[in-house]
C-alpha cells in the first residue's frame, strides 16, 4: 500500500513549511532514516518551497502514517502536536491520486506551472540513487510523470503566462516575434523588473542596466545579466537604441517623460522604424502615461500586466478541467493495474503447483509406458502442458477480473483454500 504524509501551501503557512523542508545535501540520509524509523519498504521525499511530502510503501494497513509523521517531526526537531494540524494523511487510491495531481501541477499554487514536474522527477531520482525506490514507487513515478506530460501536451493547462514577469515576456514576443538580439534597457532593479529582464535574456535578448546613484550596483546587475551598464545621463540615447524598456525604480515621480520617448522615437527614424515596448512595473509609475499615445509605442503598466495575467489564469483554470479528466482516467488505469498485481502471487503459486502435479504424474506413467522415444517424450510433455493450460485458463481470467475490484483478506484466504494452495 502507498502511504503519503505531507503539508503544502494549502494547509500551512510558509514558516511551517520552511521549518520542515529537507536540505538537498541531507536527503539521502533522510530517506534511509525514513525507511528505517517509519518501518516502510520504500521511501521518497518531495521537498519544495510550496510542499513537503513523504511517500512510502508499507505492507501494513495501519500505523505507517503515524510513524511517518513522527519521523518528519523528529528529523526536524519539532513536536508532533505542534505540526499535526497542518498535515494531510493519504493512503492507497487517495495517495496515488494526489501524486498524479501534484506531478500534473493541479495541486500547485499556480495551476500549470512547469517547475513542479522537474522537482518531482528529481525527488524520485534522489530516492533511486539512495536505494529507497522499489517497484511500487517506481511504477507510481513512471505513470504519474507520463500522465503529467500528457496533461501539458494535450490540454492548454501550461499555456498563457500568469505571472507579471512572464506576461511581460509573452507580450514582447507578440510585438517582436523573435526576441534574439533585441536590446533590453533596465531602469531600476526591482524584483519583478529584474525577473522579467532575466526571462528576456534567456530568450536571447541583450541587457543594458541604467545606473542611478550607485553605478557600481548597475555594473553588478549588468554582469549578472551578461550585459553592460550605462549612466543615467544617457537615458535618451539608450532609449533610442532599446527595443524593450523595463522600468521599476521606486522613484517618487516620473522618470521617463513623454518628451524622452518622443526624442527616442525621432532618433529611431519616426513612425516607420521598429516599435518600442515600454514596461512600467513601478509604483508610483515611472513612465509618463501620455507616451502610450505615440505611434509605434507600446506602454504597459502594472495594472495592464495584472489584467492580462488574471485573464490568462482564468483561461488556464478552464483548461484545468480537461487536465483533471485526463489525470482521473490515468489514475483509474493505474489503480486497476495495481490491483491486478495482487493476483500475481496466487497465479504463480497455482501454476507451480499444477506443473508439479503434472511432472509427478508423468513420472508415475513412465513406469507403465516403458522407454519412450524423444518424439514420444515431447508429445507427452506437450499434451500434459496443454491440459494444465486449459484447466488454468478460466480461474486465471476470473481471478484477474476479481482483482480489478480489489481483494479482501478473507477472499484471498478462501481462494487459496479452494485451489489447495
In a domain, 213, yes or no: yes
Q: Are residues 215 and 299 in the same domain?
A: yes
Q: Are residues 130 and 178 in the same domain?
A: no
Q: Is 46 helix (H, G, I), strand (E, B) or coil?
A: strand
Query: Could you list the residue range(s) of the whole structural domain that residue 355 is in?
Result: 340-419
pLDDT at 188: 84
Q: Are residues 305 and 214 in the same domain?
A: yes
Q: Above 60 in pLDDT, residue 183? A: yes
Q: Are residues 375 and 272 in the same domain?
A: no
**Highest mean pLDDT out of 157-171, 198-212, 267-281, 363-377:** 198-212
Mean per-residue pLDDT over the chain, rounded: 86
Q: Taking a C-beta distance cutoff of 8 angstroms, is the pair 257, 290 a contact? A: no
Q: Are residues 406 and 354 in the same domain?
A: yes
Q: Above 60 in pLDDT, residue 271? A: no
Mean pLDDT of 46-66: 88
In a domain, 239, yes or no: yes
In a domain, 159, yes or no: no
Q: pLDDT tens digit string along 10-25?
A: 999 989 999 999 999 9
Q: Which helix (H) or strand (E) holds 298?
A: strand 297-301
DSSP 187-216: ES--HHHHHHHHHHHHTT-EEEEE--S-HH
Q: Above 70 in pLDDT, residue 370? A: yes
**Highest mean pLDDT out of 178-192, 288-302, 312-326, 380-394:** 288-302
Q: How is the beta sheet containing 276-280 ordered, strand by strand?
A: 228-230, 206-210, 183-187, 244-247, 276-280, 297-301
Q: pLDDT tens digit string along 68-105?
A: 999 999 999 999 999 999 999 999 889 999 999 999 98
Percentage with pLDDT > 70 across the chain: 92
Q: Are residues 102 and 128 in the same domain?
A: yes
pLDDT at 121: 95
Domain boundary among 154, 188, 215: 154
Q: Which residue has the higher pLDDT, 341 or 407?
A: 341
Q: Are residues 241 and 173 in the same domain?
A: yes
In a domain, 26, yes or no: yes
In a domain, 285, yes or no: yes
pLDDT at 43: 96
Q: Are residues 247 and 221 in the same domain?
A: yes
Q: Which residue has the higher pLDDT, 309 or 301?
A: 301
Q: Are residues 206 and 303 in the same domain?
A: yes
Residues recognised as catalytic: 49
Q: Are residues 10 and 145 in the same domain?
A: yes
**Is residue 39 left, alpha or beta, with left meaning phi > 0 and alpha meaning psi from -120 to 50?**
left
Q: Are residues 104 and 170 in the same domain?
A: no
d(Cα 158, Cα 140) in Å, to the nearest integer? 22
d(Cα 66, Cα 64) in Å, to the nearest integer? 5
Q: Above 80 in pLDDT, residue 214? A: no
pLDDT at 405: 62
Residue 150: Cβ-neighbour burial (10 angstroms; 0-12, 13-18, 19+): middle
pLDDT at 97: 94
Q: Above 70 in pLDDT, residue 412? A: no
Domain boundary among 124, 154, 184: 154
Q: Above 70 in pLDDT, residue 407? A: no
In a domain, 330, yes or no: no
In a domain, 144, yes or no: yes
Which alpha helices (DSSP H) does 109-234 contain, by range?
115-130, 135-154, 164-176, 191-202, 215-224
Mean pLDDT of 281-291: 90
pLDDT band at 162 (very low <50, low <70, confident <90, very high): low
In a domain, 269, yes or no: yes
When mean pLDDT is compared across 278-282, 285-289, 294-298, 366-370, the lowest value belongs to 366-370
Domain boundary among 255, 289, 309: 309
d(Cα 237, Cα 210) in Å, to the nearest integer? 11
pLDDT at 191: 75
Q: What is the CATH number of the domain that holds 291?
A: 3.40.50.720
pLDDT at 415: 67
pLDDT at 32: 96
Q: What is the CATH number of the domain that holds 40?
A: 3.30.460.30
Question: What residues does 3 pair with on adjacent strands?
Answer: 56, 91
d(Cα 6, Cα 15) in Å, to the nearest integer? 15
Domains held by the chain: number: 3
Q: Above 90 in pLDDT, residue 356? A: no
Q: Above 70 in pLDDT, residue 219? A: yes
Amino acid at each position: 500500500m502507498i502511504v503519503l504524509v505531507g503539508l503544502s501551501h494549502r494547509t500551512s503557512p510558509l514558516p511551517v513549511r520552511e521549518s520542515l523542508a529537507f536540505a538537498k545535501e541531507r536527503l539521502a540520509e533522510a530517506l534511509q532514516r525514513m525507511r528505517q524509523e517509519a518501518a516502510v519498504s520504500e521511501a521518497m521525499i518531495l521537498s519544495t518551497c510550496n510542499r513537503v511530502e513523504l511517500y512510502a510503501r508499507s505492507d501494513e494497513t495501519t500505523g505507517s502514517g503515524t510513524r511517518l509523521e513522527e519521523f518528519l517531526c523528529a528529523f526536524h526537531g519539532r513536536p508532533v502536536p505542534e505540526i499535526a494540524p497542518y498535515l494531510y494523511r493519504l493512503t492507497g487510491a487517495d495517495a496515488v491520486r494526489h501524486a498524479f495531481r501534484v506531478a500534473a501541477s493541479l495541486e500547485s499554487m499556480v495551476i500549470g506551472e512547469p517547475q513542479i514536474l522537474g522537482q518531482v522527477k528529481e525527488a524520485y531520482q534522489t530516492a533511486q540513487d539512495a536505494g529507497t525506490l522499489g517497484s511500487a514507487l517506481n511504477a507510481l513515478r513512471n505513470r504519474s510523470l507520463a500522465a503529467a506530460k500528457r496533461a501539458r501536451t494535450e490540454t492548454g493547462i501550461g499555456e498563457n503566462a500568469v505571472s507579471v514577469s512572464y506576461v511581460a515576456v509573452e507580450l514582447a514576443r507578440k510585438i517582436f516575434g523573435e526576441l534574439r538580439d533585441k536590446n533590453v534597457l533596465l531602469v531600476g532593479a526591482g524584483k519583478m523588473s529584474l525577473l522579467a529582464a532575466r526571462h528576456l535574456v534567456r530568450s536571447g535578448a541583450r541587457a543594458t542596466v541604467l545606473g542611478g546613484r550607485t553605478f557600481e550596483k548597475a555594473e553588478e546587475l549588468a554582469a549578472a545579466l551578461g550585459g553592460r551598464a550605462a549612466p543615467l545621463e544617457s537615458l535618451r540615447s539608450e532609449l533610442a537604441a532599446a527595443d524593450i524598456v523595463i522600468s521599476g525604480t521606486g522613484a517618487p515621480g516620473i522618470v521617463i517623460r513623454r518628451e524622452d520617448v518622443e526624442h527616442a522615437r525621432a532618433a529611431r527614424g519616426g513612425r516607420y522604424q521598429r516599435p518600442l515596448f515600454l514596461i512600467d512595473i513601478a509604483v508610483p509609475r515611472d513612465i509618463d502615461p501620455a507616451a502610450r499615445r505615440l505611434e509605434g509605442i507600446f506602454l504597459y503598466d502594472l495594472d495592464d500586466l495584472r489584467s492580462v495575467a488574471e485573464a490568462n489564469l482564468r483561461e488556464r483554470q478552464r483548461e484545468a478541467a480537461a487536465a483533471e479528466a485526463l489525470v482521473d482516467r490515468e489514475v483509474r488505469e493505474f489503480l486497476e493495474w495495481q490491483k491486478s498485481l495482487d493476483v500475481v502471487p496466487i497465479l504463480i503459486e497455482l501454476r507451480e503447483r499444477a506443473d508439479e502435479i503434472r511432472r509427478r504424474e508423468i513420472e508415475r506413467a513412465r513406469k507403465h509406458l516403458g522407454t519412450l522415444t524423444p518424439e514420444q517424450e515431447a508429445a507427452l510433455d506437450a499434451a500434459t502442458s496443454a491440459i494444465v493450460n486449459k484447466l488454468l485458463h478460466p480461474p486465471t481470467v476470473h481471478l484477474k477480473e476479481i482483482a480489478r475490484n480489489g481483494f479482501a483478506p478473507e477472499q484471498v484466504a478462501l481462494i487459496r483454500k479452494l485451489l489447495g494452495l
